[in-house]
Amino acid sequence: MELNGRARAMLRAVAAGRAEVTGGTEPELYVDGLPCCDQMATHDLVHAGLLRPTRPTSFGRRVCAELTDDGRAALAAS
């Protein structure tokens, strides 16, 4: 997946521990407590396996987000 500037910024926020993600098949990302404006980018990053919740969660509940190994590699390569 090629990352644009917004996707890189989203991954950097996750890496910095500033992000939460909701449970569900189409999760939402929150950065510094605010909803991310690009839900499609969030869905793409999650479905590409670049970020995930730190623990299992139920639909709509927020938990901390973390980068996967692939997410760290994608961020380092961009």
What's the CATH number where 73 sits?
1.10.10
Q: What is the tens place of the pLDDT at every residue in 5-37?
A: 999 999 999 999 999 999 998 999 999 999 999
Tally of structural domains, the chain? 1
What's the rounded Cα separation, in Å, for the pair 6 and 20? 16
Q: The whole model's pTM is what?
A: 0.92
pLDDT band at 60 (very low <50, low <70, confident <90, very high): confident
pLDDT band at 63 (very low <50, low <70, confident <90, very high): very high
Domain extent at residue 64: 5-77
DSSP letter at 51?
E
What percentage of the chain has pLDDT greater than the value 70? 100
Do 75 and 8 form a contact (C-beta atoms < 8 A)?
yes
